[in-house]
Amino acid sequence: MGPASDELIREFGPVARRRAAMPLVRAPALHHPFLALAVGLALGGTGRASAQSLAASEVPVLAQLRAWRDSLGELRPLQAIVAPRFEARFFGYAADGTPGASHEFRFATEYASIAVAWPGRDAIVPARPLMMNSLGQVFVGEAPAGASGWPAFASVVAADVPPHLNNMLLQSGIAADGTEWRRVEAVEGDDAAVLRPLRVRVLRLDGGELDGFLLEIGRSPLLWDPSFTAIEGEGASAWWGRVEVTGRAEGRAVGAGLPAVGLAVRLSRAVPGGDRVARLLPGDVRMVRGELLVVLRDGTLVDREVLRRQAWAAEALRRLCRHELAARAAVTIDRDGDGIGEFGDPDEVVPTAERSYRRVDGDRLEFEGHLFEVWLADSPDVREHRFAAGGWPATPRGPDDLAFAVDQRGVVYCCSAVGRFAGGERPLTASALEDDTLGWRALEFR
């Protein structure tokens, strides 16, 4: 691999608002219908991005907004923003100058217009609003406490301007309904001005082939996803799509993306029967001297579908625990009438809209290729303090099978299910949660 590569390997080692209101700016003579509208775009983020940067989950939404703006000069502009966990709302004018709002773009392109991407009700990753107008200005937002529903004109106009005038915020400020917008000038402009080139070096320590591997830089829509590995260090860019790696033992990939925080890498390969994902450990992906280094220890690949189902199994237990704790706090269940809330069955605590599971074998549930069971004591007094739940593969899939568990402490754990737990014949039991020899480890949701 050469001295440079050896040096990198030696150096590389596994590593186990303040609210400040800005003045509202109204451009002079920008009155209906000849005004410049500032776009309100709601992007999903981790909450760690600053006012001048985007979170990894926000980048795909920005790409959609840019596509919308680029299409405005065409006869058929983009009809809707298609991004996971986000929904679009547009503000603009009809041909006769009548202002309006719609979930599809139905407005005359000779007038200024706005696209707003709003976090969907089913969004898992904490999301914040972000906005962009037909002038190309981009804003990230923060809805006022207690706000619900979709944005309206009051969400993007100055407080002292009649909403029907559509006089949108043109600089950072607080809209009429209390939504705070911060302009992100760093992501405004054409590709040459916004996108940052990024070189990637992939080292395969067993000397195997790297041609055909595909690299993604972004993040999962879930808070824990074993197919992605977090990037250590700063300076990486989120790519619009996947880039192919070329080489043997030492591979290269070059792409351009948008700087963002909370980035992770997925290295995969398309094979007959579906994508396979490379095993990357914490610390295997890091920035080194302005270059992204990815260390692939061997050629072991994992079925991407198996990892996707594992991510959803862990998310299901995380959500279940959240609902259990909320139900107890709200005293939704109080069988002994002592005024103290109790933990309950999933049908008692999980909102109807989130019950994607189906019941099998009595008290067991099935969801995303896993069986689940919730363990509750018979005594209401004990239910006031304890519950536990677990999930395991409904059918064995191979050496990467995992079992998952959670209890009232709110930490989701996993351990290997291989040779231990599978289907109804070898179920996970409540006592297994107390067995330290199984190698339970806590999952980090971020």
pLDDT (tens digit per residue) in 230-239 = 999 999 999 8
Residue 48 pLDDT > 60: no
Candidates 293, 262, 296; CA nearest to 280 is 296
Q: Which amino acid is at 427?
A: P
- What sign results for the dihedral spanned by CA atoms 87, 277, 222, 230? negative
Query: Residue 52 has what pLDDT?
Result: 66
As a whole-number percent, the residues of the chain with pLDDT over 90 amount to 51
Highest mean pLDDT pick, 10-14, 59-63, 82-86, 411-415:
411-415
Residue 201 pLDDT > 90: yes
Mean pLDDT of 208-228: 93
**Lowest mean pLDDT across 91-105, 114-128, 388-402:** 114-128
- Which is more confident, 99 or 338? 338
pLDDT (tens digit per residue) in 359-393 = 997 889 999 999 999 999 999 999 999 999 999 99
- Cβ 91 vs Cβ 15: under 8 Å: no
Q: Cβ–Cβ contacts within 10 Å for residue 440, how many?
A: 18
- Which is more confident, 157 or 443? 443
How many H helices and E strands in the chain? 6, 28
- Which is more confident, 25 or 443? 443
Rounded CA separation 438/435 (Å): 6
Query: Residue 273 has what pLDDT?
Result: 84
- The answer to whether the predicted template modeling score (pTM) of the entire model surpasses 0.85 is no
Query: Residue 11 has what pLDDT?
Result: 34
Mean residue pLDDT of the chain comes to: 83
Q: Cβ–Cβ contacts within 10 Å for residue 171, how many?
A: 16
